[in-house]
Amino acid sequence: METSNPTVNDFSKSQYPPPEDNSEERLKPSKNTLSRRSFLGKSLAVGAGTIGAGLLASTPTAKARGGLTPGDAALLRFAAAAEILETDFWVQYNELGGVQDSEVPGGSGNPDYTEALEVLDEDMAIYIHDNTDDEFTHQNFLNAYLVSKGAAPADLEQFRTLPGSTATGSSGKLRLTNLTQLTLDTSWWTRYRSDTKNPDFGDTFPQAVPTLAVGQHTAIPRTDADTTDPNFLQAIANTAAFHFPTIEQGGNSLYPSMAQRATHVEVLRILISIGPTETMHFQTWSDKAGNAPPLTAVDPVTGVSVTFPDLANVGEDLQKSLIMPEPCPFLSRNLPPCSIIRPTETKGVAMGTLKFLTDMGLFIGQSPAFFALMNQLARAADAARHGR
Backbone angles phi, psi at 295, to 5 degrees: -170, 165
pLDDT above 70 (res 47)? no
CA distance 58 to 152: 6
Q: What mean pLDDT is predicted for residues 257-285?
A: 97
Given a contact cutoff of 8 angstroms between Cβ atoms, the answer to whether 252 and 275 are in contact is yes
Does residue 254 surpass a pLDDT of 70? Answer: yes
Task: Kindly tell me if the per-residue pLDDT of 222 is higher than 80.
Answer: yes
What pLDDT, on the 0 to 100 scale, is given for residue 276?
Answer: 97
Share of the chain above pLDDT 70, in %: 83
Measure the CA–CA gap between 38 and 309, rounded to whole angstroms.
29
pTM confidence score:
0.84
Please say if the pLDDT value at position 37 is more than 90: no
**Contact criterion met (CB below 8 Å) for 162 and 59:** no
Which pLDDT tens digit goes with each residue over 283-337? 999 999 999 999 999 999 999 999 999 988 777 778 888 889 999 999 999 999 9
Task: Give, for 248, the enclosing helix (H) or strand (E).
Answer: helix 230-259
Task: Report the amino acid identity of residue 142.
Answer: L
Mean pLDDT of 5-31: 32
| Beta-sheet pairing, 295-298 with 35-36 | unpaired
Torsion angles phi and psi, residue 217, rounded to 5:
-125, 145
Q: What is the pLDDT of residue 75?
A: 98
pLDDT at 15: 32
In this structure, the chain runs to a length of 388
pLDDT tens-digit readout, 133-171: 999 999 999 999 999 999 999 999 999 999 999 999 999
What would the 3-class secondary structure string for 211-247 be?
HHHCCCECCCCCCHHHHCCHHHHHHHHHHHHHHHHHH
pLDDT in tens, 182-199: 999 999 999 999 999 999
Residue 3 has pLDDT above 60, yes or no: no
* C-beta atoms surrounding 61 within 10 Å: 10
Cβ neighbors of 273 (< 8 A, separation 6 or more) are: none
Nearest in space to 169 (alpha carbons), one of 237, 250, 245, 99 = 99
β partners of residue 175:
162
CA distance 132 to 96: 12
Angle ∠(185,80,21) on CA atoms, nearest 5: 175
Cα angle: 73, vertex 75, 79; to 5 degrees: 115
Nearest to 242 by CA among 167, 188, 161: 188
87-143 pLDDT per residue, tens: 999 999 999 999 999 889 889 999 999 999 999 999 999 999 999 999 999 999 999
- What pLDDT score does 150 carry? 95
Question: What span, in angstroms and rounded, lies between the C-alpha atoms of 351 and 254?
Answer: 11
- Of 345, 344, 363, the residue nearest 81 (C-alpha): 363
Neighbours of 111 (CB within 10 A): 13
The mean predicted confidence, pLDDT, of the chain is: 86
Average pLDDT of span 217-239: 98
Type of residue at 238:
N
pLDDT at 36: 31
Q: State residue 317's pLDDT score.
A: 74
pLDDT of residue 353: 97
Instruction: Please determine, for residue 344, whether its predicted confidence score (pLDDT) is greater than 50.
Output: yes
SS3 for 345?
Answer: coil
The answer, yes or no, to whether residue 64 has pLDDT greater than 50, is: no
Confidence of residue 66 (pLDDT cuts 50, 70, 90): low
Average pLDDT over residues 67-93: 97
